[in-house]
């Protein structure tokens, strides 16, 4: 990955190593001690002020998807302020904040404050609080690594999804475990709050908080080829499992969160 900027925080703690971009307060790497990288990042993504870095946990807000421009909102494109950092035996706790500015009001004419808490240790915990006067949508768009997508499964997604690849068709499924053998872009609208991602080399437990939906995305071969900052084989090694508020909007003072355990 190519990052030529001082606006990056490298965390080193006995329990983990991690990297956060101040643009978007985007956690792009978390490596618990004795384990391998948990978050997937593109090796060819560039750190640029008009484009989100592809990987880690981008924060999509105040809208999810392409409802308006820019895609997935502006929170992932703007530098956040680091408010505090606390190192302790249990890990590193960071608080970031993003508030409205003339630049954000040009795109979206509302006052707001987003507060992001990140705890990095033997678990990774991330919590986003939204203080805005109008309903919004959003997601923690988490990219996870897998050594082989064709031999990976996700459980706990529930029985209903909206298929973004089939004109947003509503689908009822009986498969209790998702296996991925082609492009997937689904909004699961009745997910359990715990999902398990099982890959050949590790199992991840994901605990969502405050979600109404969980989005699962893998671009597979043809769609990957259209994405400038993904290499041809990247689809084999990543899967997005996203803690989302789409079918039920975020209201003033709502919080969404994710904890990842290996």
* Binding residues among 109-128 for ligand TA6 as defined by CB under 6 A: none
Could you say whether residue 254 binds ligand TA6 (CB under 6 A)?
no
Task: Judge contact between 143 and 39, C-beta under 8 A.
Answer: yes
Contacts of 194 (CB under 8 A, 6+ apart): 156, 205, 206, 207, 208
Shortest distance in whole angstroms from residue 64 CB to ligand TA6 = 7
Nearest to 224 by CA among 204, 202, 239, 242: 239
The conformation of residue 71, written as its DSSP 8-state character, comes to: T
* CB-nearer residue toward ligand TA6: 184 or 260: 184
Angle at 89 between CA 85 and CA 90, to 5 degrees: 80
User: Can you tell me which of 61, 161, 217, 235 binds ligand TA6, judged by CB under 6 A?
Assistant: 217
Could you say whether residue 51 binds ligand TA6 (CB under 6 A)?
no
Could you say whether residue 247 binds ligand TA6 (CB under 6 A)?
no
CB under 6 A: which stretch of 14-22, 64-72, 84-92, 118-126 binds ligand TA6?
Answer: 64-72
* Binding residues among 164-183 for ligand TA6 as defined by CB under 6 A: 164
How many chain residues interact with ligand TA6 (CB under 6 A)?
11
Phi, psi angles (nearest 5°) of residue 5? -160, 150
Nearest to 253 by CA among 113, 151, 120: 113
Could you say whether residue 203 binds ligand TA6 (CB under 6 A)?
no
Helix (H) or strand (E) holding 223: helix 220-226
User: Can you tell me which of 59, 162, 215, 246 binds ligand TA6, judged by CB under 6 A?
Assistant: 215
Shortest distance in whole angstroms from residue 129 CB to ligand TA6 = 21
Catalytic residue flag (residue 141): yes
How far apart are alpha carbons 206 and 240 in whole angstroms? 12
How far apart are alpha carbons 202 and 43 in whole angstroms? 21
Among 72, 125, 208, 242, the active-site one is 242
Could you say whether residue 209 binds ligand TA6 (CB under 6 A)?
no
Under the rule (CB under 6 A), what is the footprint of ligand TA6? 52, 65, 71-72, 141, 164, 185, 215, 217, 240, 242
């Amino acid at each position: 990955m190519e990052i030529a900027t001082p606006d990056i925080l490298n965390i080193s703690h006995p329990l983990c190593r991690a990297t956060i971009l101040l643009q978007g307060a985007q956690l792009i790497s978390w490596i618990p001690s004795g384990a391998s990288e948990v978050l997937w990042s593109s090796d060819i993504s560039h750190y640029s002020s008009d484009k989100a870095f592809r990987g880690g946990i981008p924060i999509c807000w105040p809208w999810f998807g392409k409802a308006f421009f820019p895609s997935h909102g502006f929170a992932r494109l703007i530098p956040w302020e680091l408010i505090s950092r606390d190192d302790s035996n249990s890990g590193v706790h960071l608080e970031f904040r993003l508030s409205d500015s003339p630049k954000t009001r040009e795109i979206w004419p509302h006052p707001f404050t987003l507060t992001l808490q990140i705890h990095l240790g033997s678990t990774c915990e991330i919590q986003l609080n939204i203080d805005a006067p109008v309903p919004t949508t959003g997601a923690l768009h988490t990219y996870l690594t897998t050594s082989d997508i064709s031999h990976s499964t996700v459980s706990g997604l529930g029985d209903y999804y909206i298929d973004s690849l089939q004109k947003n068709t509503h689908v009822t499924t009986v498969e209790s475990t998702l296996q991925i053998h082609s492009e997937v872009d689904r909004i699961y609208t009745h997910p359990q709050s715990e999902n398990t991602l099982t890959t050949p080399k590790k199992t991840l437990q994901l605990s969502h908080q405050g979600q109404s939906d969980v989005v699962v995305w893998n671009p597979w071969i043809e769609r990957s080829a259209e994405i400038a900052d993904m290499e041809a084989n990247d689809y084999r090694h990543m899967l997005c499992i996203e803690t989302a508020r789409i079918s039920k909007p975020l209201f003033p003072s709502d919080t969404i969160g994710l904890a990842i355990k290996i």
